[in-house]
Structure 1
Amino acid sequence: MTRPAAINSVEAENKADPENETTRKPARLTVNLTSKSNTALHRAAELSGHTKTEAINQALQLLEMTFAAQERGGGIWIQDSARSEPARLRIF
C-alpha cells in the first residue's frame, strides 16, 4: 500500500529535526481505543473543557514527562484527595 505524499512529507520533516517544535508540523493519526480509554478520553475532555485532540496531546506530553522523570530516578506524585497521602505514579 502506498502512503500519501503529504504523510511522507510531514514525517520526513519531523525526522529532520525532531526536537524543534516550532518547525514540526502536526501529525494526523488514527488510533483504535479500548472502551475504557474512550471513556477516559471523553471524561478528560469534559473535565478540562478541552477538545479530545487537546486532551490526547496533553496526555501524551504527561506520559513522556513521567517516563523521563522515571528514567532520571525521579517521579511524579499524585494525591487522590486532601486527606490522602501522595503516592508515586509509576507507569511501565
Structure 2
Amino acid sequence: MSAVANGKFDLAILDMQLPDGTGFEVREKLRCTETAVIFLTVIDDEGDIIRAFEDGADDYITKPFRLRELLARVKRTLNTHSDERRSSILMLSDVVTTPLYHL
C-alpha cells in the first residue's frame, strides 16, 4: 500500500479482495487525491456496489468482464477526469505506451 501513498495516478482499478487489504481501504487512501477509481471484482453484492459508489467510485464492474467493455469504461472515466495536465503518454512502472483512451 506504500505505492498508493507515494504515487500519483490518473486511474486505479481495484479489486475488493487484495492480498494486503480491501479495495475500500485503498480507495480511502486515494480519497484526498484526484485519482479516478474503478472497482473490478468478483463481488456482486448490491450492498458493496452501493457502498463503492457512495464512497466515490467512478465505476464498478463485476467479473467475468469483457475487455472491450472495460476499455470503454476506462476511456469514459479518464475523459471525465481529464484536464490540461494529462500527459499523452501512459506509464505503468517501466512500460511506456500511448494512452488507452486515445484508441
TM-score (norm 2): 0.23
**Looking at both structures, which has the greater relative contact order when contacts are Cα pairs under 8 Å and sequence separation is at least 6?**
2
Structure 1 or 2: more strand by fraction = 2
TM-score (norm 1): 0.25
